[in-house]
Amino acid sequence: MTGKFGAALLGLVLVLSGAAQAQESEFLQSLDGKWAGRGSVRVRANATPVNVRCSFDSDTTSDSMALQGSCTGLVILSRDVGAVIKSRGGRYTGTYTGSRTGPAVLSGKRAGNALNLAIRWAANVNGDRSAQLRLEKVGDQGMRLTTIDTDPHTGSEIVISKIDLKRL
């Protein structure tokens, strides 16, 4: 009886994890394509936000997403940015590129239409190595990228960047 119960339980776990991975696959693939939009970026927590224009190409598979692009603001800010994110069992891990400190580690999970990812910078940014990235699907044709960090002077959370994109 114990062997049959264990086998049945293992079967249920495999079915549920397969269903969860199918949901993650559907979510990732809905973000595939070319995107462009506008937003604002602070180069430091205490800096005035700079308006930017961004464009990205997103290539997805059933368990990964590669987002590559660039953002330009005024004449003083132009940066190539990107992320490679993999899904496994409802958890997401990856690497963000574009920080002046070097590649950053991403980890987190999805809640509804958004990936909530912790960022671990390669070196201190705004007084520490931690921040958050929220990659959110907005409707059928939109995506929002928001980076949130802690202001080292006030201890308050602040939006470092917020970029609204539309599918091209």
The pLDDT, as a whole number, for residue 8 is 40
Question: Residue 42 has what DSSP assignment?
Answer: -
The pLDDT, as a whole number, for residue 17 is 36
Q: At 82, is the pLDDT very low, low, confident or very high (cuts 50, 70, 90)?
A: very high
Cα gap 153→8, rounded to integer Å: 55
Report how many helices (DSSP H) and strands (DSSP E) the chain contains, helices first: 1, 10
The pLDDT, as a whole number, for residue 123 is 96
Q: pLDDT tens-digit profile of 7-41?
A: 443 333 333 334 345 688 899 999 999 999 999 99
Q: Domain with 76 in it: what CATH number?
A: 2.40.128.20
Domain of residue 124: give its range: 2-167
Q: Which of 21-25, 97-101, 121-125 has the lowest mean pLDDT?
A: 21-25
Structure tokens at 40: 């604002």
Report which of residues 103 and 77 the model is more confident about: 103
Q: How many domains does the chain have?
A: 1
The answer to whether residue 87 scores a pLDDT higher than 80 is yes
Can you tell me which residue has the tokens 């970029």? 163
Cα gap 104→39, rounded to integer Å: 21
The pLDDT, as a whole number, for residue 34 is 98
